[in-house]
Structure 1
Amino acid sequence: MSIPSSDADDSVSAGELSARYDKFVVDLLGSIAYGKLSAFERLSSDARYSPTLRDRAVVGKMAVAEFGHFEIVCARLEVMGMDPELAMLPFQRIVEAFHERTRPADWHESLMKAYVVDAITEDFYAAICAHLDADTSEVVAQVRTSEQQRALLEERLQTMLGEDPRLSSRLALWGRRLVGEALAQTQRIGAQHSFLVGLSPDGTQEEAAAEISAILTSLTRSHSRRMSQLGLTA
Structure 2
Amino acid sequence: MGTSPDAPASAGQLASQLLGAMAYGELSAFGRLSTDSRYAPTLHDRAVLAKIAVGAYGNFALLNGRLSEMGTDPEEAMLPFQRAFDHFHERTRPGDWFESVMKAYVIDTVSSDFYRTIAGFLDPGTQRLVEQVASPDQATEVLRVLLRRALSDDPRLASRLALWGRRLVGEALTQAQRTGLEHPLLGPLLRGGGDARAKVRRLTGELAEKHAHRMAGLGLAA
1:192 is matched by which residue type in structure 2?
Answer: E
CA RMSD of superposed structures (Å) = 1.8
Structure 1 residue 146: Cα displacement: 4.7
2:219 is matched by which residue type in structure 1?
Answer: G
> Do structure 1's residue 32 and structure 2's residue 22 form an aligned pair?
yes
Please show how residues 107-146 of structure 1 align to structure 2 within 5 Å: 107-144=97-134, 146=136
CA contact (8 A) 1:69 1:143 kept: yes
Structure 1 residue 19: Cα displacement: 2.4
2:143 is matched with: 153
1:220 is matched by which residue type in structure 2?
Answer: A
Structure 1 gap segments, 5+ residues each: 1-11
> Do structure 1's residue 170 and structure 2's residue 156 form an aligned pair?
no
Structure 1 residue 145: Cα displacement: 5.2
1:7 is matched with: none
1:204 is matched with: 193
Moved over 3 A (4+): 202-205, 208-211
Larger Rg over CA atoms: 1
Change (3 A) 1:144 1:13: closer
> Do structure 1's residue 94 and structure 2's residue 84 form an aligned pair?
yes
Structure 2 gap segments, 5+ residues each: none
| 1:133-183 alpha-carbon deviations (Å, 9 max, x no partner) | 111111111212553221211111111011111111111000000000000
Q: Scaled by the length of structure 1, what TM-score is found?
A: 0.88
Structure 1 residue 41: Cα displacement: 0.4
> Do structure 1's residue 65 and structure 2's residue 81 form an aligned pair?
no
| 1:201-233 alpha-carbon deviations (Å, 9 max, x no partner) | x34362x44443332122111111111111111
1:187 is matched with: 177
Identity score, percent: 51
2:203 is matched with: 215
CA contact (8 A) 1:129 1:140 kept: yes
SS of 1:90's partner is: helix
2:138 is matched by which residue type in structure 1?
Answer: Q
| 1:1-26 alpha-carbon deviations (Å, 9 max, x no partner) | xxxxxxxxxxx979x52222222111
1:37 is matched by which residue type in structure 2?
Answer: L
